[in-house]
Amino acid sequence: MEYRAGFVALVGRPNVGKSTLLNSLLGRKIAIATKKPQTTRNRIVGVLHRPGAQVVLVDTPGLHQPRHKLGERMNSAARVSAKDADLVWHIADVSRPPNAEDHAVAAFCRQLAIPTWIILNKADLVSRVKDRWGPYRTLMDYRNYFVVSAAQKTGLDPLIEATIAAMPIGSPYYPEDMVTDQSEDFYVGEVIREQVLESTREEIPYSVAVIVDERTARRPDLTYIRATVLVERDGQKAILIGAGGRMLKDIGQRARMQLQEYYGHQVYLDLWVKTRERWRNQDGWLRRLGYGVSEH
């Protein structure tokens, strides 16, 4: 049997379950997922290993109408990842009819000379998927379609089997024991940001970035992590810290629990909050934070 290996780009509007689908397919959490749109800001690579095959799944930020340079970089990351793929999955929320952003994603996919499938996610939220399929069928001429529930892990096996069959014949791109290419600091920062997203409302979740300043093994059974949470206004900083530091303490405790599960031992998490006005529109800060994808 000839070995198959290739790249699959997961594209779609925000909040359709791309990251949840990635985690479910891999059987472990490598991408944060919340109910808030635009949770994913970076290209996240997950490597799916099967006998005789390797599928490199590339989770991308949701394509949306940007309101700042960060949004432009997020859209660029999604478009670049799709252009480099062997197959594109257009992920859609089948529990809702297609909106303007779904149409924009389909228009982008039509421009690619790459096979595109539509993946109708969140099937667990509807009783009759067939009644919802019609409007999505008209978006473009998809090569294939699948109905899945990433949250319930249903419909995934047929999707994986068909995807492997569609991959080019070739050698693996990553070692067999590699599940993602993201750095440890990146994952730590994302876990912290996830808890900020879960704890805050309105503009604050979208104004936050995390920098891991230090990560040190103090003992074999203890990792020390110091991280800075950036916001854009002093008012946001006050809300994030909370009365008597209660909000920040709660965020830190929940992030620490996840990190202790990740490391398998005790974690001391030291969180600080700093204001950096309009960082989402400053090229220097965007580069420092890893949002530097260019389409050129």
From residue 171, alpha-carbon distances to 5, 26, 50, 253 in Å are 6, 20, 13, 43
pLDDT in tens, 120-138: 999 999 988 888 888 999 9
84 is in an annotated binding site: no
Give which of 210, 196, 209 is closest to 253, Cα–Cα.
196
Q: What angle do CA 44, 50, 53 make, to 5 degrees?
A: 85
pLDDT score, position 292: 66
62 is in an annotated binding site: yes
281 is in an annotated binding site: no
61 is in an annotated binding site: yes
13 is in an annotated binding site: yes
99 is in an annotated binding site: no
122 is in an annotated binding site: yes
Q: The domain 184-288: what is its CATH number?
A: 3.30.300.20
* Cβ pair 201, 245 in contact under 8 A: no
12 is in an annotated binding site: yes
249 is in an annotated binding site: no
Residue extents of the structural domains in the chain: 4-166, 184-288
Q: In which order are the strands placed within the sheet that holds 222-231?
A: 209-219, 222-231, 266-275
51 is in an annotated binding site: no
At 25, give phi and psi (nearest 5°). Answer: -65, -35
205 is in an annotated binding site: no
Q: 169 by DSSP, 3-state: which? A: strand
Superfamily for the 4-166 domain? P-loop containing nucleotide triphosphate hydrolases (3.40.50.300)
Give which of 166, 103, 115 is closest to 143, Cα–Cα.
115
130 is in an annotated binding site: no
Mean pLDDT by 10 residues, the chain (296 residues): 95 95 96 90 95 97 91 92 95 96 95 96 90 90 96 98 98 96 95 96 92 96 98 97 97 98 97 97 93 60
